[in-house]
Amino acid sequence: MSETFAQKVYVLTRQIPKGKVTTYSAIAQALKIKGAARAVGNALNKNPFAPKVPCHRVIRANGEVGGFAPGPKRKQAILKKEGIIITQGRIDLNKYGYQFKIKS
């Protein structure tokens, strides 16, 4: 399968359950590529599967919402609709942080 790194990112992002969020770094680790958080963000930025990939459920490792094409404001609003409580523009990864199953 000649799936590119981005394609894998979209698949993982699609697997994120509603009401939960994950970080770019977490996706990178799920792909066994630690440190590729930047590449993950790049893939979501293109986001050819915009309505199919809940890119708004992907936030930064420090708990910030990160960025969003239409605007970070939009991202926060959607997350709030999902049932996620945002405090000071940040999200509690401790509560809503979703972790991918990483095979050793």
Q: Which spans of this chain sit near DNA (rule: CB under 7 A)?
A: 4-6, 23-25, 33, 35-47, 55-56, 58, 60-62, 66-69, 75
Task: Please state the closest distance from residue 90 (CB atom) to DNA, in A.
Answer: 10
Pick the catalytic residue: 12, 31, 36, 55? 55
Count of beta carbons in the 10 Å neighbourhood of residue 98: 16
Task: Please state the closest distance from residue 40 (CB atom) to DNA, in A.
Answer: 7
**Triad 7, 37, 63: Cα angle to 5°:** 115
Task: Please state the closest distance from residue 54 (CB atom) to DNA, in A.
Answer: 9
By C-beta, is 51 or 104 nearer to DNA?
51
Q: Is 55 a catalytic residue?
A: yes
Secondary structure string (H, E, C) spanning 47-97: CCCCCCCCHHHEECCCCECCCCCCCHHHHHHHHHHHCCCEECCEECHHHHE
By C-beta, is 50 or 85 nearer to DNA?
50
Round to whole Å and give the CA distance between 55 and 36. Answer: 16
By C-beta, is 16 or 66 nearer to DNA?
66
Question: Catalytic amino acids?
Answer: 55
